[in-house]
Structure 1
Amino acid sequence: MLNTFYSGPQAWFFLAADNGYFADEGLEVSFTEGSSLARAVGGIVTGGFDAGYGDLNELVRLQAAEQETPVAVMAIHNRPPYSIAVDAAGPIKTPADLAGARLIAHPQDAAWLLFPEFCRATGLDPDSVTITISEAPHTQMVPQMLAGQWDGIFGFVNTLNAQGIEAGVDVATALHHLTWIDHAPAFYGGALMVSRAFRTDHPQAVAGLCRAVSRGLANTVADIDGAIDAVARRNPALDRAANRARLTGTLALEMGDAAAQAGLGDVDDARLREIARLIAAAKDYPRQPEPTAVFDRFFLPPMANRARMSG
């Protein structure tokens, strides 16, 4: 199960398929489009999927809420992609300026779900903000926000930028991002996950899945245009320029830190504990899951064989 419709920041999965890396591991993999990175976590369980691409922080949240979850086996995003995009020419420059703002979010948007944690980290009163939930695409939301209908949009930095580009917006000058990277940096982002039954029953397949995805990641970094080709084979209507920007932005922002340059896939247990603490405090959950309940690094390839991000 994927996080959304076929798009640039999923290219490594498609390259792994097209280049035969899943077949090399004895795996047959099919893809189902999802509706959000956060919603994919529960969808892996309720939909009976063996594996998926979901939000690691949402996995922690569901564990803290004592719900059934998959287990993460490979981190993809080393840094949080979440943002509130505002008009760069407007008065909102810092989180404190959001008091009294009108914001809009997709249902189950990961940034919106973590807004209480953002508020605790920045001192913003969440009750001072009005939030509208809408299914409208970001291609509509961005121009509407810039026209004054809203003061900000929840989303991922590079998703908002890419869909702004699709809407004809010069996002480099029009949008200003209030990011979790700057204000709540402990959080992770997307991760490869498997069902607990699949992990128990087919451990060799889980290890093979990690190896294949890591090879796909390495190919993506080496050939951005080839990666976009792999997405376009599944989504011929793809806006190539916007999705190329979305992919390169994701590699730089969410996947470009020093740890990813050494080898992508593992997590810092101390950060997972901090995420659990922040979520439990913000949402008044009774428990803080241990890292071993959330992430299993046993299946990762050796460090020498992991994909590396460029500087």
Structure 2
Amino acid sequence: MSRYLSRRAASLALSALSILMAFGATLAPAPAAAQTETPIKFVLDWKLQGVHAWYYLAQDRGYFAREKLAVTIDQGEGSAATVTKIMAGAYQAGFGDVNAIVQNAAAKPGQAPVMVYMLYNRAPFALIAKASGPIRTPKDLQGRTVGTPAGGAAARMFPVIAARTGIDATKVAWTNVAPNLQEQLLLKDHVDAAAVFSVTSYMNLVAQGIDPDKDIRWFHYGDYGVELYGNGVMVSQQLLRERPEAVAGLVRAINHAVRDTIADPDVAIAALVKREPLLNKDLEKRRLLYTLKTVMLTPEVATQGLGDIGDARFARAFLQLKEAFDLPRVPTAAEVFDRRFLPPLAERTVARR
């Protein structure tokens, strides 16, 4: 009898153990990586272009995943719109214009996103004119008509370059044009010049069979004392406050992909074209190389590395923005840019092309 009970008890114990093991399996915690993965909605400044290639390269090479980030990337509607989309809570991070951050921080303290990785060391604002035309210096714009999209940043910043080149701004006429028609109207002489975003306009000219280096005169604002920085990676106040480790991981992943892109532009463009096969990869590679040359790999970047800014220059840029936009106040640098998340200088150093 005792032998029967012991066997029965053992059988019941085994059954109970099996049930507990099965039950326990259903309650087993998810893998640590899945539990701690941070979702980040990231918005670009515009439709897909070569200057966005590093974000997709970071995805393909697992740089975001390695930082336990689940990053989804959406196309944008303008560099300034990135700021407003993040302020509205639709996105936690994005690629947009630091000058738009300054303007919003001046008017709405504590609400604007913060730049954590500067990509465009020079703001890509420029005035362009036909090389065959009469405009040979910025002062030649007096008595001429300049085309610009309504509210275009290059036109808004014109008073700053005018003051530094001796232009009487009251003698320059402006006409609003559709963004996609700027170059066409210039080439057809409907306007004498255009105020443009250079990294976009350059390739628009190429696409129309124009050699932008020979057929067009470029007056880059940065060559005439305008000290503005341009686009970079920005994050929301909430992400900065609640998930600083995610911000640091985002910056590390993007910095790694940017350096990879500089070393091998073709592999980065391939990652971009995977998302939009209709893109002309040769044109987008040329856009990327032009951007690297003109607004990213500057002498300043050669000394201080990718992603950072010069504090004294940044302060002067704020004053230029106040002059151009009549800001109600000048925000502090800390309200606009946070360098705490930058990788060490050795990981951000690249040779100038």
TM-score by length of 1: 0.93
| TM-aligned CA distance change 1:308 to 1:60, over 3 Å | same
> Would you say 1:105 and 2:123 are equivalent positions?
no
| TM-aligned CA distance change 1:43 to 1:110, over 3 Å | farther
Partner of 2:119: 76
Q: Distance in 2 between matches of 1:165 and 1:95?
A: 23
Moved more, 168-177 or 190-199: 168-177
> Would you say 1:49 and 2:91 are equivalent positions?
yes
Contact 1:74 1:300 in 2 (8 A): yes
- The amino acid across from 1:197 in the alignment is Q
Deviation sequence 1:227-253 (CA, Å, 0-9, x none): 111221122111222211110011011
Q: Distance in 1 between matches of 2:306 and 2:54?
A: 13
In structure 1, the residue corresponding to 2:217 is in which secondary structure?
strand
> Would you say 1:126 and 2:169 are equivalent positions?
yes
| TM-aligned CA distance change 1:309 to 1:114, over 3 Å | farther
Q: Distance in 2 between matches of 1:117 and 1:27?
A: 41
Partner of 1:269: 311
Partner of 1:260: 301
Q: Distance in 2 between matches of 1:96 and 1:45?
A: 39
Query: Which has the bigger relative contact order, CA under 8 A and spacing at least 6?
Result: 1
- The amino acid across from 2:290 in the alignment is G
Partner of 1:38: 80
Which residue of 100, 120, 123 corresponds with 1:58?
100
- The amino acid across from 2:95 in the alignment is Y
Moved more, 162-171 or 20-29: 162-171
Q: Max radius of gyration: which structure?
A: 2
Q: Distance in 2 between matches of 1:221 and 1:204?
A: 26
Partner of 1:115: 158
In structure 2, the residue corresponding to 1:172 is in which secondary structure?
coil
- The amino acid across from 1:94 in the alignment is T
Task: Please show how residues 53-202 of structure 1 align to structure 2 within 5 Å.
Answer: 53-66=95-108, 68-137=111-180, 140-202=181-243
Moved more, 177-186 or 99-108: 99-108
Q: Distance in 2 between matches of 1:107 and 1:41?
A: 18
Identity percentage of aligned residues: 35
Which residue of 295, 299, 304 corresponds with 2:346?
304
Structure 1 residue 108, shift from structure 2 partner: 4.2
Deviation sequence 1:176-233 (CA, Å, 0-9, x none): 1111111134111111100001100110000000000001101110111111112211
Structure 1 residue 104, shift from structure 2 partner: 1.8
Structure 1 residue 256, shift from structure 2 partner: 1.6
Structure 1 residue 284, shift from structure 2 partner: 2.5
Consecutive unaligned residues of structure 2, counting only runs of 5 or more, are: 1-42
Q: Distance in 1 between matches of 2:127 and 2:206?
A: 17
Task: Give the total of aligned pairs.
Answer: 309
- The amino acid across from 2:203 in the alignment is A
Q: Distance in 1 between matches of 2:335 and 2:93?
A: 17
Contact 1:36 1:108 in 2 (8 A): no
Consecutive unaligned residues of structure 1, counting only runs of 5 or more, are: none
- The amino acid across from 1:251 in the alignment is L
> Would you say 1:278 and 2:298 are equivalent positions?
no
Moved more, 59-68 or 180-189: 59-68
- The amino acid across from 2:298 in the alignment is D
| TM-aligned CA distance change 1:103 to 1:275, over 3 Å | same
Which residue of 38, 46, 54 corresponds with 1:12?
54
| TM-aligned CA distance change 1:143 to 1:134, over 3 Å | closer
| TM-aligned CA distance change 1:124 to 1:66, over 3 Å | farther
Please list every run of at least 4 consecutive aligned residues from structure 1 whose deviation after the TM superposition is greater than 4 angstroms. none
Q: Distance in 2 between matches of 1:163 and 1:44?
A: 28
Partner of 1:232: 273
In structure 1, the residue corresponding to 2:214 is in which secondary structure?
helix
